[in-house]
Amino acid sequence: MRILVTGAHGQLAKCIKDASIKHTSLACTFVSREQLDISNNDAVALYFRNHSFDYCINTAAYTNVEKAESDKENAYLINSEGVKNLAIQCEEHNVVLLHVSTDYVFDGTQTVPYKETDNTGPINVYGASKLAGEQHVSALCQKHFIVRTSWLYSQYGHNFYTSMLSHFKKGTALKITTEQTGTPTNAQDLAVVLLTIILSEVYQYGVYHYSNDGEATWYDFASEILKNAGQIPQANLGSTNHYSTFARRPERSILNTKKVKETFSIVISLWNERLKGFMEDVYTQP
């Protein structure tokens, strides 16, 4: 199966690359923005005319939640218009589109985990731009999977996990918020799930939620990272119930993952257990 993966420099694409090595039946092509700018409609159309794929996994995204508030045009250019361009070409060339989205399409006011059928209501530009991308996929590409996830981390690039480790080692005084509750999700696990969807050949198209199980605040997440990192004597970590950000954040954005578990026979790990195992695999004592 021939798979196009956009956003090659991002952590999720790198995890997909790692996971795909185990599957000789998958031929993955990874493209960065320099190789394929999805916001350029003509470039996307030309690329699809010149190459043949069975699947496209779109991990390309504008993910800077804070900056998006003042950079709305670029956030929408990538997260909405870029996705629209991919959806049009996937439909025209009979390519199945797997599009990665976010828990931030919800407003975070619901007390129970969000199902795929629950009403969306983003409260920041990032979430709104990602929802617009989802809507393009649903409207323009019949064969699609939209996979919403939350709080992704890995050993690659800049994310909460790598940022916390860096600060801990430097002895930076940190106050991490307890205001928001979500689910830290290992990007390696999401990569495996995306490939599982393809390999399953179960064509129940639509929206799915995937995250690790359980819930945490950002402070809980940081505390678990520190606990599993071993002895870092200079670490300085505290909590705060108020942390000022430019972009509003959902207070509670837990995803209900029952649908993806049942449809694709997926077993999901608790977020803290997965973090511990992940850090045992990749973390080197300072």
Would you please indicate which residues are annotated as catalytic (active-site) residues? 126
Long-range contacts of 258-264 (CB under 8 A, 24+ apart): 258/115, 259/115, 259/116, 259/208, 259/209, 260/147, 260/193, 260/208, 260/209, 260/210, 263/202, 263/204, 263/208, 264/193, 264/196, 264/197, 264/200, 264/202
Contact 98, 145 (CB under 8 A): yes
Listing DSSP states for 200-243 in one string gives: HT----EEEE---BS-EEHHHHHHHHHHHT---TT-EEEEES--
Torsions phi, psi for 274 (to 5 deg):
-65, -40
What are the angstrom distances between the C-alpha of 271 and each of 137, 180, 204, 275, 277?
A: 29, 16, 27, 6, 10
CA distance 102 to 147: 8
Q: Which element (helix H / strand E) includes 96?
A: strand 96-102
Determine the straight-line distance between the first and last CA of the chain, rounded to whole angstroms.
Answer: 41
